[in-house]
Amino acid sequence: MRILITGGAGFLGSHLCELLLSKKHKVVCMDNFITGSRDNITSFLTAPNFELIEHNVTEYINVDGELDWILHFASPASPVDYLKYPIQTLKVGSLGTHNALGLALAKGAGFLLASTSEVYGDPSCNPQPEKYWGNVNPIGPRGVYDEAKRFAEAITMAYHRYHNVNTRIVRIFNTYGIRMRANDGRAVPNFIMQALKSKPLTIYGDGSQTRSFCYVDDLVRGIWNLMNTEIHEPVNIGNPRELTMLELTKIILQIIGSNSKIDYCSLPLNDPKVRRPDISLARAQLDWEPAIKLEDGLKKTIQYFKSKV
Ligand code: UDP
């Protein structure tokens, strides 16, 4: 197959490029490098099945030749990034998704949207099943990402229902692993880099808020299974092991053997208090569940970040 990945030079996009190249597919990577990085795709640039198009998906997209799938992963995805690029985040989720769907329709290609657990906002139920509609503050600082992705889901379903595009929607929960940016501001890279530099670990709030972290290899395997299953409704992909941020810092400090202190900082507005995926649907329909233990995934990630210190 020939597959376009928007945001192909990002953290998740580059892992998808790698997975699809390993399965002998042709990959067209589109990125404007606002948060993606050339380093992430350097090793693919010489591969005969790999093409790079430097383009902002928010502008009209044109790709020559046939396409079998479009995987729409372009978007800032770390809270720090989408607060820095609020308008671009809204535009890529809305205009960018419209452009990518239009291209899928024109090419007769399948379309997979990278959605997010952020559509659930600060959830009033835990774990979150796909049928939960969420608790999002549309005008809060995170609203630029949350509402863009909620719009993206709505327009994806509309293209499926009204234009019969073969669509998929994956709701991605917190994911970590190699090729994350050391300075992307998220909890895992922040804590690892701080511990490696023997600096205090910055916990926002009292550290009792929870997240559930999935290693990137598990995540891309789930996405591949979803592409190969006819489910048009959203599917959660994530690791259901839930832990507090304080617990996460303890595990990271223990693996690194660091005795960095904790620096308690103010909690960002609308920071979700809990987050954990209900993955019953993925288990039943995709025959998928995560296989990589948090401690093992963190060890690989720490190894990667050691070269960035
Ligand atoms: N967080 C933290 N310290 C940091 C970075 C993040 O305590 O240096 C917290 C953040 O407030 C949130 C959780 O860790 O409660 C996960 O944040 P992240 O930015 O990784 O992603 P989110 O799940 O909020 O999208």
What pLDDT digit, counting tens, does each position of 185-243 carry?
A: 999 999 999 999 999 999 999 999 999 999 999 999 999 999 999 999 999 999 999 99
Rounded distance from Cα 187 to ligand 1 centre (Å): 4
270 lines ligand 1 (CB under 6 A): no
- For residue 124 the two structure tokens come to 């009033």
User: Minimal CA–CA distance to 308: which of 202, 186, 175, 183?
Assistant: 183
**Which overall architecture, per CATH, does domain 178-211+241-276+292-306 show?**
Alpha-Beta Complex (3.90)
Distance CA(6)–CA(103), nearest Å, equals 12
Q: Are 16 and 223 in contact (CB under 8 A)?
A: yes
- For residue 188 the two structure tokens come to 């895992």
pLDDT at position 133, please? 97
Of all protein residues, whose CA lies closest to atom 18 belonging to ligand 1? 186
Of all protein residues, whose CA lies closest to atom 6 belonging to ligand 1? 187
Question: Which residues, including other chains, have CB under 8 Å from residue 306's CB and lie 6 or more apart?
Answer: 196
User: Minimal CA–CA distance to 195: which of 114, 141, 249?
Assistant: 249
Of all protein residues, whose CA lies closest to atom 3 belonging to ligand 1? 203
Rounded distance from Cα 238 to ligand 1 centre (Å): 16
User: Minimal CA–CA distance to 37: which of 73, 10, 16, 12?
Assistant: 10
Of all protein residues, whose CA lies closest to atom 16 belonging to ligand 1? 187
E strands, the chain, are 2-6, 26-31, 50-54, 69-72, 110-116, 167-172, 175-176, 201-204, 210-212, 214-215, 234-237, 242-244, 262-265
239 lines ligand 1 (CB under 6 A): no
Rounded distance from Cα 214 to ligand 1 centre (Å): 14
Question: Domain ranges in the chain?
Answer: 2-175+214-237, 178-211+241-276+292-306
Which numbered atom of ligand 1 lies nearest the CA of 209?
15
245 lines ligand 1 (CB under 6 A): yes
201 lines ligand 1 (CB under 6 A): no
Q: Are 290 and 239 in contact (CB under 8 A)?
A: yes
Rounded distance from Cα 268 to ligand 1 centre (Å): 9
Distance CA(152)–CA(27), nearest Å, equals 23
Query: Tokens 């790698």 label which residue?
Result: 18
Which residues participate in catalysis according to the annotation? 145
Instruction: For a ligand 1 pocket test, name from 175, 186, 244, 253 the mutation site with the most ligand atoms within 8 angstroms of its C-beta.
Output: 186
Burial 246-259 (b: 16+ CB within 10 A, else e): bebbeebbebbebe
264 lines ligand 1 (CB under 6 A): no
214 lines ligand 1 (CB under 6 A): no
pLDDT at position 144, please? 98
Of all protein residues, whose CA lies closest to atom 1 belonging to ligand 1? 187
pLDDT at position 176, please? 98
Which numbered atom of ligand 1 lies nearest the CA of 268?
11
- Supply the CATH classification number for the domain 2-175+214-237: 3.40.50.720
Question: Which residues, including other chains, have CB under 8 Å from residue 246's CB and lie 6 or more apart?
Answer: 203, 206, 207, 208, 262
Phi, psi of 82, rounded to the nearest 5 degrees: -75, -15
268 lines ligand 1 (CB under 6 A): yes
pLDDT at position 233, please? 98
Rounded distance from Cα 245 to ligand 1 centre (Å): 8
The whole-model pTM stands at 0.98
- For residue 137 the two structure tokens come to 């503050």
**Under-50 pLDDT residues of the chain:** none
